[in-house]
Amino acid sequence: DSGVTQTPKHLITATGQRVTLRCSPRSGDLSVYWYQQSLDQGLQFLIQYYNGEERAKGNILERFSAQQFPDLHSELNLSSLELGDSALYFCASSASDRQNIQYFGAGTRLSVL
Amino acid sequence: GQSLEQPSEVTAVEGAIVQINCTYQTSGFYGLSWYQQHDGGAPTFLSYNALDGLEETGRFSSFLSRSDSYGYLLLQELQMKDSASYFCAVRDTRDDKIIFGKGTRLHILP
């Protein structure tokens, strides 16, 4: 158990809809990262928050947004969903904002029908 | 551009040693990380090289040479449970983006 909690585990929705994925980092970790992993693909970095502030941005679509709350949990919002958004979405946390030592949650599997 | 190259697949025999290479093209990075991911599972952190040289953690070792733009993960005394995908990753100093390689699927034969 990495200590990172993601909910829900599975999400099935329709095109055009909006969903919210939630992540609670390990106790004491200030950084939260979001990744997308499509079938047989590597991990695509979406965005990082550090202590409530956006720290780094990857290839995140404009339809996607995220935030980190004062209690350090984070949410990833995906809107105007398309079939191609179907993927595994992972959240990870780390103590540092620079070192690439991250602990991943179990992921949310999103299916857009 | 920023990229990490890894072999897509490697096959080895149980009990043997295997090396998974990672070459990169990025102007600067904070360190090289390695993650393991079993099918259907989440990535788990294995090793991090901030500096050149060898880092050893049990059966796993990782190496980094910034001058050669190259690193590798070495797995010794292979066990069937080591069958998984292995990813190298860096954080680019220019824009702080995190880049993962496409992963190496390790097949272990009995």
The predicted structure's pLDDT at residue B1: 59
Report yes or no: B57 at the A interface, CB cutoff 8 Å. Answer: no
Residue in chain A closest to B41 (alpha carbons) equals A106
The predicted structure's pLDDT at residue B80: 97
A2-35: pLDDT as tens digits: 899 999 999 999 999 999 999 999 999 999 999 9
Please name which of A69, A92, A65 lies closest in space to residue A79, comparing C-alpha atoms: A65
The verdict on a CB contact (< 8 Å) between A43 and B91 is no
Confidence band of B95 (pLDDT split at 50, 70, 90): confident
Looking at this protein, which amino acid is placed at residue B58? G
Whether residue B59 has pLDDT greater than 80: yes
The verdict on a CB contact (< 8 Å) between A42 and B101 is yes
Of A2, A43, A98, the CB nearest to B91: A98
In a mutational test of the A interface, the residue from B4, B88, B91 whose CB has the highest number of chain A CBs within 10 Å is: B91
In a mutational test of the B interface, the residue from A98, A100, A101, A102 whose CB has the highest number of chain B CBs within 10 Å is: A100
**Contact residues, chain B, for A98 at CB < 8 Å:** 30, 91, 96
What is the β-pairing status of strands B9-13 and B104-109? parallel
A32-86: pLDDT as tens digits: 999 999 976 789 999 999 999 999 999 899 999 999 999 999 999 999 999 999 9
Whole-number Å distance between alpha carbons of B51 and B93: 15
**Contact residues, chain A, for B98 at CB < 8 Å:** 33, 45, 48, 56, 58, 100
| Range name among A33-37, B38-42, B87-91, B93-97 with the lowest pLDDT average | B93-97
How would you write chain A as a 3-class SS string? CCCCEEECCEEEECCCCCEEEEEECCCCCCEEEEEEECCCCCEEEEEEEECCEEEEECCCCCCEEEEECCCCCEEEEECCCCHHHCEEEEEEEECCCCCCCCEECCCEEEEEC
The predicted structure's pLDDT at residue A21: 98
Of A41, A58, A99, the CB nearest to B97: A58
